Amino acid sequence: MFSRNGWLKLAHQLNLRRERGGNGTCGALTIHRAVEGQNGRRVDAREGNAKVTYPVPRPQALRAGGLFDGERAIGRGMVVIDGGRIVDVDTTGAAPPTAAEVVDLGEDAWILPGLIDTHVHLAFDATADVVATVTTANDETVLEGMRAAAARALRAGITTVRDLGDRDYLSLRLRREWVGRPHAGPHIVASGPPITTPGGHCHFLGGEAAGAGALRAAVRARHERGCEVVKVMVSGGVMTPGSAAHASQFGLADLRVVVEEAHRLGMSTAGHAHAGSAIGDALEAGFDSLEHVTFITEDGVAADARLVERIARRGVVVGTTVGKLPGARAVSAATTGRRAGIDQVRAELYLAGARMSAGTDAGIAPDKPHDVLPYGIAHLVDVIGMRPHEALKAATVVAAEACGLSEVKGRLRAGMDADLVVVGRDPLADMSALRDVRAVYRAGHRVVGGQR
C-alpha cells in the first residue's frame, strides 16, 4: 500500500507499462511528473512525441465473500488496488490500509481476475453476414462497431481480448485511441489481418501472401505496425466462399518460415487449423497456439488420437473457440451433429491433458456476440467435462499465457494489473454466476454494470 508520498516516488521511478499503441514501438510511457491534485491522481507522460495524461484511481480495498485467484478459490478476503495494480490480496481478515477507500461488495460477491477472450474479431459485427459489413463499410463505420463490441465485452467482465483478424489494422487504431485511457476498453492483443493464401480463407481482410519472401515480409509488416501475434489461416474456413475447412492452405515449409520470422521478432503465432493435416503441420512448425482444432473432414469430424496426444505432450495452447448465445441462430441437424463431433474432439483433448484456453471467435455470427465468453466457460464445464476451476483457469491463467501477458494479467496477485470482475455469487458452484456481473475494474478504474 502506498502513501501519497510513496505513490509519487514510485511513479517517478517506474516506467509505467503502457497499453501498446500501433506505431511499431513497444516499451513504456516516459513519466515526466506525478501529480496528486483536487481532481485526483495522474501521471504526465510522453508517448513518442505526444503528451499523455494517465489518470490513476485512488487506492481501494475491495472486500468480498469469495476470491478466485486464477487457479482456485481462496476464501473470503480483500483485494487492495492502487496505481492500476493489485498491491495486496488478503484472506486473513486484516484491517484495510488507512489510506484506502473500503468497498464492501457483499458476502455473496466473488472477485475474479478479469476474463480473457483469446480469440475475437472486433471488426465483425455478429450479424448474419459479417463479411458484407467488414468488406463494404468505411473505416469509421467499422471502428464505431468495434468500439461498441469492445464496450460490450468489457461490461461482461472481459478485460483483455486477443483480436485474431481485423481489416486494415483497425484494432491497432482502436488501441491508439485508448493510449493513456486503459479503462476505455479491454486490453487488446492484436494480429492485424490474418495471413492467408491468395483467394484463401478471409482473403477479403487483406492478408494474402504466397512464397517464403512474401510471408517473411508479411510478418515484418505486422511487427512494424505494432502487432504482438501473427495469425495464419493454416486451413480453409467456413465463412469464405470457395474455401474448404477440411483442406490445408499452407504447407509445412511455409509455416516454418512464418514461425521462424515471428519468433525472431519476438512475436507469437496463432494457427487457424480445422483439418487434421493443417493441425499436424501447425504443430510441427512450432505455432504457439492452435485455434479451433476441430479435425473436420469432408464428411464430418474424425480426430487423430496420436495427434491429440502429441498436442498434449507438446504443451501448445489449444484455442477452443467455444460459446454460443442460446437461441440466437437456428441450425440444421447436420450442423448440430458436426458440433457434437467437435465437442467430442475437445473432450478428448482435455482428457489427454492439452492446455486449453477459453477463446470464443466472438463476432463471427449472431450466436457469437462479443460478450459470449461466460457461455463459453460454462460450455467447457457442462459439455467438455472440465472441472469449474479448470474452466475459469482457461479464461484467466492459461488465456494470459496465450496472450503473452502472464506476468501482468490472469491472477489475483500483488503486482498484477488491477483488471477484475465481480460477480454476484460463487461461479464454481454455478457457472451462470459469470453472467451476474456486479462490477468490472480495468486498470483499477471501476466500470459499473453488467449483464443479468
pLDDT band at 4 (very low <50, low <70, confident <90, very high): very low
Confidence band for 330, pLDDT divided at 50, 70 and 90 = confident
Nearby residues of 5 by Cβ (< 8 Å), 6 or more positions away: none
pLDDT single digits (tens) 332-355: 888 899 999 999 999 999 999 999
For the cut 50, the answer to whether the pLDDT of residue 450 exceeds it is: no
Q: What is the pLDDT of residue 322?
A: 98
313 has a pLDDT exceeding 50: yes
Distance CA 339, CA 320 (A): 12
pLDDT at 40: 56
Predicted pLDDT of residue 6: 45
Strand order from edge to edge, sheet including 229-233: 229-233, 268-273, 289-292, 317-319, 355-357
* Crossing angle between the packed helical segments 305-314 and 276-285, to the nearest 10 degrees: 30
Average pLDDT for 92-106: 96
Provide mean pLDDT across the span 360-372: 98
Query: What is the crossing angle of helices 252-264 and 276-285, to 10°?
Result: 40
For 14-52, the pLDDT digits (tens) are 334 434 333 333 333 343 444 555 445 665 544 444 566
pTM: 0.90
Handedness of CA 358, 364, 366, 369 (dihedral sign): positive
- Lowest average pLDDT, out of 333-337, 381-385, 391-395, goes to 333-337
> pLDDT tens-digit profile of 172-191?
999 999 998 888 999 999 99
User: Given pLDDT bands bounded at 50, 70 and 90, which one contains residue 219?
Assistant: very high
- Report the percent of the chain where pLDDT is more than 70: 87
Cα–Cα distances in angstroms (integers) from residue 8 to residues 3, 34, 40, 415, 442, in the given order: 8, 6, 13, 17, 21
Q: Minimum mean pLDDT among 19-33, 105-119, 372-386, 411-425: which range?
A: 19-33
Between 25 and 99, whose confidence is greater? 99
Q: What was the pLDDT predicted at 53?
A: 64
Confidence of residue 437 (pLDDT cuts 50, 70, 90): very high
Q: What's at 365, amino acid-wise?
A: A
Q: Is the pLDDT assigned to residue 197 strictly greater than 60?
A: yes
pLDDT classification of 142: cutoffs 50, 70, 90:
very high
Q: Within a 10 A sphere around the Cβ of 326, how many other Cβ atoms?
A: 7
Indicate if the pLDDT at residue 147 is higher than 60.
Answer: yes
Q: Once rounded to an integer, what is the mean pLDDT over residues 397-409?
A: 98
With a cut of 50, say whether residue 2 has pLDDT above it: no
297 versus 57: the higher-pLDDT residue is 297
Query: Which of the pair, 4 or 232, is modelled with greater confidence?
Result: 232
Name the average pLDDT for the chain: 90
pLDDT category at 89 given cuts 50, 70, 90 is: very high
